[in-house]
Amino acid sequence: MAARSIKTIFRDFWYIIFAELSSRYSKLHWDSIVENVEKMIGCGDPSNGYAEYVCPKCGNKKQVPFTCKSRFCTSCGKIYIDKWIEKTVRNIFDVPHRHLIFTIPQELRKIIFNDRTLIKVMMDCASRAALEVLQSRGTDAVPDMLVIVHTFGRDIKFNAHVHMLITEGGLASNNQWVDIPFFLMGY
C-alpha cells in the first residue's frame, strides 16, 4: 500500500466527511476550520496562483505556486511553528522554567466543545492556579507564563487542555527576582 500524505487524504475525503457531519450536527464546523482545511487542500496548487521567475539571459521560466500559510497545513504549519518557537525563545526570560499541563474531566469536554468561549476561562483558571501555588510560598512574586490551549488530543478527539511554560520564580513588588522552585517542595 502506498503512503498517502495528510493533504491527499483530506483532498480525497474532506468534502464527503464534511457533508455527512454537517447533515448530522448543526454547529460542528466553525468557519475557521473549514477555511483552514480548504487552504491546506489547495496549498501549492498553481491554479490558486503562482510567482513566475524568468532568467534574463536564457529566458528559462520557473513557476513557484503560492503556499496557503495555514497553521493547519503540514508544511506551512511547520514553518509557522518553527518561526514562532524561534521568536518565543528569543523573548523569554533566561531562568529555569517548568512545563505544566492542565486538563479537564471528560464530562466537561462536550460543554467546552459547544461553548468555545470557555477555552479562555480554562486559560485564566490555569494561570490563576499556577500563580496561587507560587504565591502560597509567602511571596508576592509574579511569574512569567506562556499559556497555550490545545483543543485536540493525540487521538484527534476533542480534548481541550492547557499547556503552560512558567518560570520558577518571578518579580516581586520591589522589582527583584525571587527564585521559587515550587515544584520541588512536595505538592
φ, ψ of residue 183 to 5 degrees: the values are: -80, -10
| pLDDT(80) > 50 | yes
Contact indicator for 74, 53 with CB cutoff of 8 Å: no
pLDDT of 56 reads: 94
Q: Where are the alpha helices (DSSP H) in 105-171?
A: 106-114, 118-135
- Greater confidence, 58 or 34? 58
pLDDT of 153 reads: 79
- Greater confidence, 187 or 132? 132
pLDDT of 187 reads: 45
Residue carrying the nine cell digits 492547557:
162
Q: Please tell me what DSSP assigns to residue 182.
A: G
Contact indicator for 97, 130 with CB cutoff of 8 Å: no
Burial pattern 128-166, b for ≥16 Cβ within 10 A else e, equals eebbebbbeeebebbbebebeeeeeeeeeeebbbbebeb
Q: Is the pTM of this model over 0.95?
A: no
* Residues of the chain above pLDDT 70, percent: 92
* Residues of the chain above pLDDT 90, percent: 37
Q: For 43-67, what is each residue's pLDDT tens digit?
A: 999 999 999 999 999 999 999 999 9
| pLDDT(186) > 50 | no
pLDDT of 102 reads: 94
Average pLDDT over residues 74-90: 86
147: nearest Cα among 126, 129, 131 = 126
- Greater confidence, 161 or 34? 161
